[in-house]
């Protein structure tokens, strides 16, 4: 895991952050988030075990995901790696890209009250020439990356079935989902058929609307059995109690990325050394989840936002009416900034920074808004692509 940890910080490089600058100081004010974002990058692209997803596959998927989101700078180091090791793949991606690019997120909700917000868009599939160049396995991964980039709310059990049919293992699918989701975290932070075995044995109760109720979540792939967890797995879980949670036992199939992700999460949301209050960090998370269409994440983080703010009705308005619902100026600024970071490609810019400053946020608080929304561009895509919410029992 040490390989690559001495390399320049990737997000600093993407955002043009120089040592000793004000932006550098802001990132270092959340040291665990900064360090573990870099460790997550290393875990994905300098893996100790590439048996389930090769390094070339990782660079291909990352280059494709970043290019789809219009982030040429993020794609560029992965394109360089492909140009050296697989120039035919790099050229094939370049040829395929124009017909694949769209603007998101879009997609359909479970039939119900949210159906009025359904929005259609391209459902891209790899062309015959692209498939002939990269092979069926990688073509399926590129199609899945397109799904998670533009229409994450359309992710379903059948999508994982298609990956399984193309030769992806359960652990490989988890790593693939982490990879695409992590690139979307980098983008926001660095802004300048049948289910495989082990799925549910009974249908999950339908959840078809945003709610602050405590929902369940059921995986479409088999989590590791608790009795098979090793010391390495427990280290990645960070908290041993998470071993009882099927979501974390599924993600721990790739322990290196999970450990870095969890420590970054803790620093982003629980580090209360100045900056933004917990309620508004949760508001940013809930907003990203509302825009991406993640019913489960929105339920958790809207509930936290209500608890910490004591403004349940205002939080519910975000869930019921979306980002255009009436809020006070401060919450409006946080919601609009978070939504801009969640658009694909992101549209966050100086106007959002100015609006946040106008309502009293200092630079560290603004950085916390960016961190919280960016993290949920990662978290939402994992929750949406690997399982589904279930109604309270």
* Structure confidence by residue, pLDDT tens digits, 187-231: 876 544 333 333 333 344 469 999 999 999 999 999 999 999 999
**Which among 288, 255, 309 has a CA at the least distance from the CA of 375?**
288
Taking the whole predicted model, whether its pTM rises above 0.85 is answered as yes
Report whether pLDDT(174) > 80: yes
Mean pLDDT, range 336-344, rounded to an integer? 97
Split at pLDDT 50, 70, 90, the class of 148 is very high
Instruction: Identify the three-state secondary structure at position 8.
Output: coil
Measured CA to CA in angstroms, residue 14 lies from 74, 112, 192 at distances of: 7, 41, 7
- The predicted structure's pLDDT at residue 15: 83
H or E stretch covering 74 = helix 72-85
Phi-psi region of 16 (alpha: psi -120 to 50; beta: other; left: phi over 0): left
Q: Which CATH code for domain 10-189? A: 1.20.1290
Token pair of 272, please? 């209360």
pLDDT in tens, 237-248: 999 999 999 999
Instruction: Identify the three-state secondary structure at position 108.
Output: coil
């Amino acid at each position: 895991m040490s390989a690559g940890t001495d390399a320049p910080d990737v997000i600093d490089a993407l955002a043009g952050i120089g040592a000793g600058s004000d932006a550098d100081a802001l990132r270092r004010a959340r040291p665990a988030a900064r360090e573990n974002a870099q460790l997550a990058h290393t875990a994905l692209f300098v893996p100790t075990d590439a048996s389930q997803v090769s390094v070339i596959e990782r660079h291909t998927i990352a280059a494709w995901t970043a290019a789809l989101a219009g982030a040429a700078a993020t794609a560029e180091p992965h394109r360089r790696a492909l140009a050296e090791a697989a120039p035919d793949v790099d050229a094939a991606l370049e040829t395929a890209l124009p017909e694949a690019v769209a603007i998101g997120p879009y997609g359909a909700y479970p039939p119900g009250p949210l159906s009025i917000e359904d929005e259609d868009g391209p459902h891209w599939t790899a062309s015959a020439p692209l498939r002939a160049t990269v092979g069926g396995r990688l073509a399926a991964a590129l199609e899945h990356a397109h799904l998670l980039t533009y229409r994450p709310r359309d992710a379903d059990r059948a999508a994982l079935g298609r990956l399984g049919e193309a030769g992806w293992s359960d652990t490989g699918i988890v790593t693939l989902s982490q990879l695409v989701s992590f690139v979307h975290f980098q983008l926001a932070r660095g802004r300048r058929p049948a289910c495989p075995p082990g799925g549910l044995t009974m249908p999950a109760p339908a959840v078809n609307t945003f709610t602050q109720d405590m929902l369940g979540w059921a995986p479409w792939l088999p989590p590791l059995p608790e009795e098979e967890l090793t010391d390495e797995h427990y280290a990645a879980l960070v908290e041993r109690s998470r071993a009882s949670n099927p979501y974390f036992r599924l993600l721990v199939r790739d322990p290196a990325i999970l450990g870095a992700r969890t420590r970054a999460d803790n620093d982003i949301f629980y580090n209360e050394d100045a900056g933004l209050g917990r309620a508004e960090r949760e508001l940013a998370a809930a907003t990203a989840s509302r825009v991406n269409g993640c019913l489960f994440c929105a339920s958790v983080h809207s509930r936290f936002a209500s608890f910490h703010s004591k403004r349940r009705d205002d939080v519910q308005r975000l869930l019921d009416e979306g980002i255009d619902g009436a809020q006070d100026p401060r919450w409006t600024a946080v919601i609009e900034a978070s939504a801009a970071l969640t658009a694909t490609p992101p549209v966050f810019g100086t106007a959002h920074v100015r609006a946040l400053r106008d309502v009293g946020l200092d630079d560290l608080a603004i950085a916390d808004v960016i961190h919280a929304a960016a993290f949920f561009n990662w978290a939402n895509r994992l929750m949406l692509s690997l399982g589904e919410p279930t109604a309270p029992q």
